[in-house]
A and B are shown apart, each in its own frame.
Chain A
Amino acid sequence: MELLMAIVAGLIFTAAIYLILSRSLIKVILGTGLLSHGAHLFILTMGGLGGSSPPVLADGATNFADPLPQALILTAIVISFGVTAFILVLAYRTYAVHKTDDLNSMKGNDEHD
């Protein structure tokens, strides 16, 4: 199972990086969205996927899934949501001010060194 999940995480990363490397601002944001999904799956996989019951105390349950990666991912999800919301608005403002979403035209010029 971990082998499969590692490959899925790797593929999601590949797609994310490919998007981030493109010249369109909106694609970069989509890429970061994918990147966070990949990272969350990555953390979960490395912790091991062997548990047979959720990490909640219940009668008879002994083989819990590892709770620590879950707690870490929960924090990560919330933070990546905050950041995504922020850069989405940032992209919106950038587009509104500069009238372009081409990253190649968003670079400093020599006068502002």
Chain B
Amino acid sequence: MEFVWLIFLPALAALFIPTLFRRVAGIHTGWFVLIIPVVLFVYYSTYVPLTASGEHAVSSFDWIPSLGISFVSYLDGLSLLFTLLITGIGALVVLYSIFYLDRHKEKLGNFYVYLLLFMTAMLGVVQSDNIISLYLFWELTSISSFLLIGYWYTRDGSRFGALKSMMITVGGGLMMLGGFVILGILGDTYSIRELISGLSDYSGDPLFTLAAVLLLFGAFTKSAQFPFYIWLPDAMEAPTPVSAYLHSATMVKAGLYLVARFTPIFAGSSVWIWLVSGIGLLTLMWGSFFAVKQTDLKGILAFSTVSQLGLIMSLLGAGAIAYHSDDTLFRLAMFAAIFHLVNHAVFKGSLFMIAGIVDHETGTRDIRKLGGLMSVMPISFTVAFIGGLSMAGIPPFGGFLSKELFLESMVALKHFELFNFDTWGILFPVIAWIASVFTFVYSFYFVFKTFTGEKKFDKLPLKPHEAPIGMLISPIILAVSVIALFFIPNVVGKWLVAPAVMAAQPQLYSMPSEAAVPVHAWHGITSVPMWLTVGVIVIGTLLFTSIKKWQPVYGLQPEKLSLNALYDGVMTFSEKGMNKLSRFYMNGLIRTYLLYMFSFFSVMTIVVLFAKGAFELDMNSLSPITLFAVLNSIVAILGTGMVIMSKNRISAIIALGAVGYSVALFFVLFKAPDLALTQLVIETISVALFLLAFRHLPALKTHGETKKNKVVNGIIAGGVGLSVTLVALSAHSNKLVASISQFYKDTVHTEAGGGNIVNVILVDYRGFDTLFEIAVLSIAGIAVLGMIRLRLSRKESDDEKE
């Protein structure tokens, strides 16, 4: 079966959602939607044994074969793991949303269409082997995320958050496209698998590092890494199921997926390793530190997501080190990354759902107003407790295992001896440990400030009570998984994580079993990670109990020095700056625009003419000067001067006529009888026209033009005149090919049966010109008539103004 089509199943199903929403009013639309992720989850689960044996499945469909662009669904350990997360958590989120969103108050049709669209996009991102179609799905996730964040589009915050996330992620996506195109050109293929296999041919290219950096821009913006994380906290305006699904479990992991997927290509580059591990660590630290500052439940979770994504990112960077060293020590990192990725998706999903439940049942998400909910919401508390402690890295929950693996990998980094790691490597475990302490603090802060402590129920907008059981099903399932992950880590490791690790580092392993790291809860009394964890718990507890004393430290940071202020500043500046700039040069005056055009024209012509050595004056080709021509030139120049100098209309018109007649005389002198005739007639009619309009035209006025204006006009006009003269001379002196006129002269009688060559050219050789010249005259005539005869009445023109 061509399972590539299954990527599009959610999007196709989305077509029916609006109808179902409108026609089937009795049943919550979500129930129909739920079928899709469940079916997909079950279907994709059947591939687990295949990938666990190190194999992969491919299914493809040509889209634009001539350009090498196709939809290729490539299922290996890594894409299958992500696929199962997307469909599995997708099913739970849909189930949760059925109880979270009211059937009568919300526009469910919109919601589920966006959500299904997103699901297709995400499946496409993780399964695509073709980087162009990968980019297509990548941007589709940005768009559907934009729609979902702005779901409550009547709120300012939603629109702001949606726009911000769109700007940042699409900006990064475009950079990523640049990286893809470079890779495509270097490797001469768009297929990731072929890029990996042909790696040695192009990895030395100077553009290779640029491709790596551009690609990382895409990954960092999508996965909310420093400094691009700022969109994620604002995206919390989305409905909570969306936050749980997109902004914790799936979309923000697309960047991680990208980094993992391209590790086999870029792992050789030190820039890649430093950027991925360094930025990841910085994000981890930054996010965990600022999470404690937040007062909004979802805000805390947003910063916690940022921080955890940084953790996984730094592990992915460390995972690339395994390519440079045979030491098995470094092979741990990639396993830890993927394992924590699974853990995080599970516990963060449950925590978001709990935040949504608290919001739903109490009417607020402000942690300062909450407290003591444990007694009324025992089940929610239990789930939050499990999720929170897993996040903090405490046994017996899944997060503990991956946190230990993380610390172990970071400690190992200081043994790495390439790329200056022997000097700076020590920073990694230190920062990682401090960040773990803060992670511990905010996890406790989230769970215990909400559910324990003083009861302040009378201040809450709603009277708190336990959520309906339907809403609790999904978080409970996730919480159970959190515990299960602790007790059966090696089962998950064998079937899901190890195949993914092998897919991310195909050159290192030939079988998934080689990549599997035995995970133990107990490392022995002498192990470093064990003592680091003990340290985290001790210091974290101290910090948490004294949180009231040191939390004011966050007030010290002025609002103006934050990254959000920077983003806002850049946005306002570019908008205002551009506006100012275009108002500066587009001032609405015709003279200004003409000045631009004429000065550009003359400067370009003269500069190019001399810079390229194109100017040449061939004195031999000049024909002899006659006295008549000199005299006539004087007449023409005098007439021209008169037109400029004259103070009244009549003399200007007469002078213009004089120039016209002298031009006619030139035509006589240069043997052009037809031209002379036409010029005489036309000039006569023109002067007559001018005189006819004479009475209606305004007097010649200078309109207060200053001397300076006139001098500028004069200089520009002189420049244009000079360039015309130079071009005429140069063109005359540089005849590259012979004129075709000889053909006309030779054949005018034999072919066309005429004697007047000019006339025969006009009506026979080049008759089309004449046809449309007639058209021009007719159009001009009709237009003149129209302008004189047609009038909109005053009333109509008034209407038009409004």
Q: Which residues of A line the B interface, CB within 8 A?
A: 1-27, 30, 33-34, 37-38, 40-42, 44-58, 64-68, 70-71, 73-75, 77-79, 81-86, 88-93, 95-96, 100-104, 106-108
Contact = CB atoms under 8 A, between A and B. Distances in A.
Q: Pick the most buried of A2, A4, A42: most chain B CB atoms within 10 A of its CB.
A: A2
Nearest to B745: A64
B688 to A, nearest CB: 11
B594 A20 contact: yes
Contact of B788 (A48, A71, A89): A89
Contacts of B456: none
13 contacts: A8-B633, A11-B721, A18-B644, A37-B660, A48-B621, A64-B741, A68-B761, A77-B675, A77-B679, A81-B777, A101-B701, A102-B701, A106-B590
Contact of A70 (B587, B590, B674): B674
Instruction: Specify the main secondary structure of chain A where it touches its partner.
Output: helix
Contact of A55 (B713, B756, B770): B756
A82 B776 contact: yes
A50 B629 CA distance: 13
Contact of B700 (A27, A57, A88): A27
Contacts of A11: 637, 640, 721
A89 B787 contact: yes
A67 B758 contact: yes
Interface in B711-758: 713-714, 716-718, 720-722, 724-725, 728-729, 731-732, 739-741, 744-745, 748-749, 755-758
A51 B671 contact: yes
A85 to B, nearest CB: 6
A1 to B, nearest CB: 5
A65 to B, nearest CB: 4
A79 B721 contact: no
Given A4-B630, A24-B700, A56 B673 contact: yes
Nearest to B660: A37
Contact of A86 (B591, B716, B783): B783
A51 B672 CA distance: 10
A30 B640 contact: no
Contact of A4 (B633, B675, B755, B766): B633
Interface in B574-614: 587-591, 594-595, 598
Contact of B640 (A12, A58, A106): A12
B721 A10 contact: yes
Contacts of B675: 70, 73-74, 77
A15 B660 contact: no
B64 interface: no
B623 A74 contact: no
A102 B633 CA distance: 33
Interface in B613-665: 617, 621-626, 629-630, 633, 636-637, 640-641, 643-644, 649, 652-653, 656, 659-660, 663
B741 A107 contact: no
A95 B784 contact: no
B741 A34 contact: no
Interface string B664-697: 0011001111110011001001100110010011
Contacts of B629: 1, 4-5
B671 A23 contact: no
A91 to B, nearest CB: 7
A85 B689 contact: yes
Interface in B423-444: none
Given A9-B728, A17-B721, A21-B598, A3 B622 contact: yes
Given A18-B713, A30-B656, A54-B673, A108 B780 contact: no
A78 B697 contact: no
Given A2-B621, A81-B777, 13 more contacts: A15-B643, A15-B717, A23-B702, A48-B732, A54-B672, A71-B761, A71-B769, A74-B758, A82-B777, A85-B781, A88-B689, A95-B696, A104-B589
Q: Name, among A12, A50, A79, A106, the residue most crowded by chain B CB atoms within 10 Å (CB to CB).
A: A12
B773 interface: yes
A58 to B, nearest CB: 8
Contacts of A24: 698, 700-703
B705 interface: yes
Contact of B643 (A6, A30, A65, A73): A30
A18 B327 CA distance: 80
Contacts of B630: 4
A9 B724 contact: yes
Contact of A1 (B625, B652, B671): B625
B: contact size bracket: 35 or more
B58 interface: no
Contacts of A65: 670-672
A18 B777 CA distance: 28
Nearest to A15: B640
What 3 A-B pairs come out closest when comparing CB atoms?
A: A14-B721, A10-B725, A107-B588
B762 interface: yes
B729 A6 contact: yes
A4 B625 contact: yes
A90 to B, nearest CB: 7
A53 B758 contact: no
B644 A15 contact: yes
B659 A37 contact: yes
Nearest to B655: A30
Contacts of B685: 81
A42 B728 contact: yes
Given A17-B598, A88-B689, A90-B787, A53 B623 contact: no
Contact of A6 (B652, B697, B703, B728): B728
Contacts of A58: 755
A2 B729 contact: yes
A45 to B, nearest CB: 5
B697 A92 contact: yes
A46 B728 contact: yes
Interface in B456-481: none
Contacts of B701: 24, 101-102
A74 B591 contact: no
A79 B729 CA distance: 26
A3, A37, A42, A86 interface centre (most CB from chain B within 10 Å):
A37
Contacts of B781: 82, 85
A88 B703 contact: no
Contacts of B784: 85-86, 89
Nearest to A38: B724
A6 to B, nearest CB: 4
Nearest to A25: B698
B625 A79 contact: no
Given A2-B732, A56-B755, A86-B783, A104 B761 contact: no
A78 B744 CA distance: 22
Contacts of A23: 591, 702-703, 705
Residue among B700, B701, B705, B748 with the most chain A CB within 10 A?
Answer: B701
Nearest to A104: B589
Contacts of A15: 640-641, 643-644, 717, 721
B722 A10 contact: yes
Contact of B721 (A13, A27, A57): A13
A84 B660 CA distance: 13
A25 B682 CA distance: 22
Nearest to B712: A21
A67 B742 CA distance: 9
B32 to A, nearest CB: 47
B757 A108 contact: no
A22 B713 contact: yes
A78 B622 contact: no
Contacts of B590: 103, 106-107
B777 A78 contact: yes
A75 B686 CA distance: 16
A56 B625 CA distance: 23
Contacts of B617: 3
A109 to B, nearest CB: 8
A67 B741 contact: yes
A78 B724 contact: no
